[in-house]
Amino acid sequence: MKFSDYNISKEIKTQLDVLGFKRPTDIQYKAIRPILDGEDVMAIAQTGTGKTAAFAIPTINNIQRKKNKYTKGTVRCLVMVPTRELAKQIAGVYRTIGKHTGVKVFGLFGGVEQEQQIKTLNNGIDVLVATPGRMFDLISQNALDLSNVEYLVLDEADLMLDLGFAKDISDVLRFIPKKRQTLFFSATISKKIKSLAYDVVKNAIRIQISPKNPVAKNIDHSVIFVEMDDKRFFLENIVKQYPEKKVVVFARTKVRVGRIVEAMKRVQIHSEAMHGGIDQKERFSILDRFRAGENTVLITTDVAARGIDIPSVEYVVNYDLPEDSENYVHRCGRTGRGKNRGQALSFCSEGEKQILLDIEAYTGEEIERYDLTKNEYLSILDDTDDGSSNWQKLLDQSNEMDGTSDEW
């Protein structure tokens, strides 16, 4: 089936064609028609499968077709998301798909001044993509009215639970009509997720796109055993092999992120750090530069592991293995987006081998081992431009300068 076969407006079809969207992904194929028909939907689909478009296309279409019936300036679709980055990204997807429909979209989140946000809301919007904190702030100030919402979308619901937003989801139901269409999207399923879903959806169409191995089939992922102190040399080797490729590097903590950036600087590799300790506005700027290719190496904590869609990321490097096995799947999902192929490589030190076993138990498969001979391993260490810790190179250079040799 093609997008041209769907009962959606010609403006949306034209824009999807411009974007190169010809055929729906599995989640889009299974979700779009029920949403167009007004059904509640509960969908479980792994990251990178096209979930956002699966709810954006039909909700934009339905709002566009009813535009002349709406009171100007009322929110018709509320999309709740757990993070600011996701709010900005999903609002961008809505704007792009709905470019010629006249549907007004706004991303609402904290970390920026409220005054301009309130002014934008007063000018009227149709789709509000919001994080809970700022949304409830404006509701309490009577600056946001949700009494006319017809579509409630909960995206990345499992992460919302992890971040403690369960009460916020329950609370928002007090401000929106009982008669509404609810769309519930999550990357994983658990008893808590099921319980939350059944609290907000009614007689929902249930969709699950989750193969036995939750890492997307178009991502080749492998592991290489590397001593902790040698990881920076192996990262240097990868980046210098593929200087034009976009690489996302995941580390365990923001302190580790900073150290890796400094290590890359010593070998003349420009990279940027992103973590929760960086100002929100700057985080957006960092992501924008990475998307635009102005920087091709992004070193981050798991703040970028969930939902962030960056086109054409060829490589993910798990510099540190994540202690939460689920985050391994989300990290790998930053590459291989949609129908593109991707590569994910993990560095595993001696102290991380149990974490590796836990990840394999979670995915249900042994991760492919990337075996190196001792000589291959040592050649990577020897090939570094980091003279500060390559003692053999320093010794060789010293010997050359004083005319001595270590050969007897």
- The model's confidence at residue 394, banded by pLDDT at 50, 70 and 90, is very low
Q: For residue range 10-47, list pLDDT tens digits in order.
A: 999 999 999 999 999 999 999 999 999 999 999 988 76
Task: State residue 107 phi and psi, 5-degree precision.
Answer: -95, 125
Supply the pLDDT for residue 211: 58
Which candidate, 262, 299, 271, 300, places its Cα nearest to that of 389? 262
Which candidate, 116, 166, 111, 172, places its Cα nearest to that of 145? 172
Distance of alpha carbon 183 from alpha carbon 59, whole angstroms: 10
- Mean pLDDT across the chain: 87
Q: How many of the other CB atoms lie within 10 Å of CB of 254?
A: 17
- Domains belonging to the chain, first-starting first, are 3-209 (3.40.50.300), 219-392 (3.40.50.300)
Q: Radius of gyration over alpha carbons of the chain, in Å?
A: 24
Supply the pLDDT for residue 139: 94
Supply the pLDDT for residue 404: 39
Supply the pLDDT for residue 407: 31
Q: For residue range 336-379, list pLDDT tens digits in order.
A: 877 788 999 999 999 999 999 999 888 878 899 988 899 999 99
Q: Percent of the chain beyond pLDDT 90?
A: 59
Q: Max CA-CA distance within the chain?
A: 92
CA angle 330, 336, 340 (to 5 degrees): 155
- Cα–Cα separations (whole angstroms), residue 386 to 228, 261, 374, 377, 401: 16, 13, 20, 16, 19
Map 77-129 to HEC letters. EEEECCCHHHHHHHHHHHHHHCCCCCCCEEEECCCCCHHHHHHHHHCCCCEEE
Helices within 267-343 (DSSP H only): 280-292, 325-332
Q: For residue range 6-15, list pLDDT tens digits in order.
A: 999 999 999 9
Hey, is 186 helix, strand or coil?
Answer: strand
Task: State residue 336 phi and psi, 5-degree precision.
Answer: 60, 40
Q: How many CA atoms lie within 13 A of 168 on its CB side?
A: 20
Q: In the predicted model, is pLDDT for residue 105 greater than 60?
A: yes
Q: In the predicted model, is pLDDT for residue 389 greater than 60?
A: no
Q: Are strands 342-348 and 219-225 parallel, antiparallel or unpaired?
A: parallel
Distance of alpha carbon 272 from alpha carbon 284, whole angstroms: 12
pTM (two decimals): 0.68
